[in-house]
Structure 1
């Protein structure tokens, strides 16, 4: 049985997405496979008015979901590190949650530490270790770029490990 998981790394300037397909063989549970479907980013520029930036995220997320047809969405939880940055990311995240509700998509959330732990076995792993793990798990001979897309694939893989 195939399950499509869309990973999202929320952001206002750059929202990363990455989709994977997980196939379980009900006859042989050890025969599970995971493949990358697609990855990329949705970008908005700082010289664009805030409302318009949120509209771009809204429209582009609808397009991504229609094209990738996920069964489950995995989202990186909001990480507080600078108040001004946190507020704009929270606004983008609100748009993201609205789009998921409109598509009636179930979602799971993971902290950065949970994602690092799932992919590397170490909750304080650095970004390059996580990205190398993404490439290894998806049998890629490259690390997906930009970083936001690789992070989104990491979130999707974390969800796969949990189901």
Structure 2
């Protein structure tokens, strides 16, 4: 990251997907843009996925990130339907990244929490404070989807510092 890099972090969801763009230059981190893509919950699945894909394509065209970091899919045995819906959403998002020819890096939720706080089971408030601190923000990023997306971008920054191949745009498997 000698010349700096724009890292887009994505917190995928079918209802509200958070995104956060961070400029990384050496040890300096700067929030560039952040927000959410909201899909209308009363629409059929295929329409919601189209809304999500179209929204992600707009963001990628506008922000022009150098790389793309996303939370890995996880499932809980009590909520298999949630994992299936998340998989659909993640697929629409990853398609947009592939269409934009972006290198995709995928991180587990526990890996993100451990990287930012040192605790793989850190509560959401601790994560939000870590994001606020690392980006030098005056307030905690809201909503939580935005803070999570920024945490994912920051995780990629920390991993790319440890492994320079990641910052050179090497494609990581995002399955």
CA–CA separation in structure 2 for the residues paired with 1:33 and 1:154: 15
From 16, 19, 39, give the equivalent of 2:18. Answer: 16
Q: TM-score, normalised by structure 2?
A: 0.87
Q: Secondary structure at the match of 1:130?
A: helix
Please, which runs of 5 or more residues in structure 1 have no aligned partner?
25-31
Match of residue 47 from structure 2: 52
Could you tell me how far apart the structure 1 residues matched to 2:53 and 2:154 are? Answer: 24
Q: Distance in 2 between matches of 1:137 and 1:121?
A: 14
User: Helix, strand or coil for the counterpart of 1:84?
Assistant: helix
- The SS at the match of 2:75 is coil
Partner of 1:28 in structure 2? none
Matched length: 156
State TM-score, norm by structure 1: 0.93
Identify the structure with bigger relative contact order (alpha carbons < 8 Å, sequence gap 6+). 1
1:80 aligns with 2:82: no
Question: Offset at 1:140?
Answer: 0.4
